[in-house]
A = this chain, B = another copy of it.
Amino acid sequence: MNNEHLLTGVRILDFTRALAGPTCTRMFAEMGAEVIKIEGAPLGDMTRQVSKLKGDRSFYHIQHNLNKKSVCVDLRTRQGMNIVRELVPLCDVVVENFRPGVMAKMGLDFDELKKLRADIIMCSISALGQTGPLSNKPGYDYIAQAYSGVTSMIGDPDEAPNIPLVGIGDVSTGVHGAFAIAAALLHRERTGKGQYLDVSLLDCYYHNHEVNVHQYSGSGGEIKPTRGGRHTSYLCPGGVYRGKGGDIMLMAFMHHWKDLCAAMEKQEFVDKNGWQTDAERIERLDEVILLVEDWLATFPDVSTAIERLEMFDVPCAPVLSVEDTLTHPHLVERGTVRTITDPLVGEFKIPGMPIKTSDYKSDSEYVAPCLGEHNVEVLKTLLDKSDEEIKVLSDAGVLQVAST
């Protein structure tokens, strides 16, 4: 399909599997780049085996591989690797997220790729990075999260930490990788040079510490950042408050406190001794919670409480469940949630492309490829292989296809 979009004209050779790598290349694909996903025969990307909600088709794989082309080759054969090597010079970028060292074993590390195309841009995405004593450990999102100190900042301070059931690290790392590649492409425009990019979940997770690292370091260790349950430790009110039938995120700190007091008709608390600043209110957090939650309990439900808070411009939100988000008018109107149509399993919903542009649709009618769906197209149009040559490779199992 390859609709015209911001990144039309870029061609990517994509060795990624699972989530972080595929997110990176999917953003390119959705923005018009040609992404040729190399999948190892016989099964391809392991995520083709999960989230099979209808028949044998993976909803997970669809979501993360929209608008890519799939070429499925047996990477354990010389002919399979030859196809890959023939494709490299035709591509601007190679992206991979194997465990460090795997690309080198396949003869496809940056030095080898440069021999095939001098100005190649290569981006390696990994859990803990390509260098350093931990780089060889098997890694998943939460492993990097634990090493980054982010896990330690989630949950009740008196309990073991909690983990978010959302792919925060993988997705964020994929986006960091996409930015790195786009920057390297701009650099190539200017200098003619390629680049190697090392992007890891650990580094990207660590990037999220907007205050914790400098506060600990800058205070000489006096401030020890710790998790705070459902409340921030530096703003008050700032956190989750229980309402009738649901929860409310309330950010009524600093100058917003007087607006909350007005909404609650508790004007006396605006200037009350010991309640005036965030620091003072944090000292009496239990009392603040009691005051606010007693007031919230006077509303029949969360949405009427939100209406009242909005009248006074108090920053607030209902804590929506995933179920709630799918039909919320704001998320639907913006395309935060989108409906896609898969040729095999039909319509379902996934997150929309988070980048909205003035000149192009953000969510075109993209589909995700079946395994090896583009074997013939890619080998014919890019590598000038004949029908006969393709038949020989297919008969030998070097090229494979599956209709899922």
Contacts and interface: CB of A to CB of B under 8 A. Distances in A.
Interface of A: 6-10, 19, 27, 31, 51, 53-54, 59-60, 62-64, 110, 128-135, 137-140, 142-156, 160-168, 170-172, 175-176, 178-180, 182-187, 189-190, 193, 195-200, 202-204, 206-219, 221, 224-233, 238-240, 242, 247-249, 251, 256, 310, 313-326, 328-331, 333-334, 336-337, 345, 348-352, 354-359
Given A209-B167, A322-B225, A184 B357 contact: yes
B196 A163 contact: no
Q: Which of A172, A210, A228, A337 has the most CB of B within 10 A?
A: A210
30 contacts: A8-B187, A10-B186, A51-B211, A60-B210, A62-B214, A63-B210, A131-B334, A137-B317, A140-B315, A146-B240, A146-B248, A149-B320, A153-B165, A154-B165, A161-B319, A163-B228, A164-B164, A167-B210, A171-B172, A172-B175, A179-B355, A195-B358, A196-B357, A200-B354, A202-B334, A203-B336, A207-B351, A207-B354, A216-B349, A217-B350
A255 to B, nearest CB: 11
B333 A131 contact: yes
A213 B325 contact: yes
Number of copies: 2
B229 A162 contact: yes
Contact of A216 (B147, B210, B213, B323): B323
A232 B331 contact: no
A349 B209 CA distance: 11
Contacts of A143: 249, 251, 315-317
B7 A202 contact: no
A182 to B, nearest CB: 4
A357 B251 CA distance: 39
A-B complex: 9 closest residue pairs judged by Cβ atoms = A167-B210, A182-B182, A196-B358, A146-B249, A146-B317, A203-B354, A217-B349, A53-B218, A179-B179
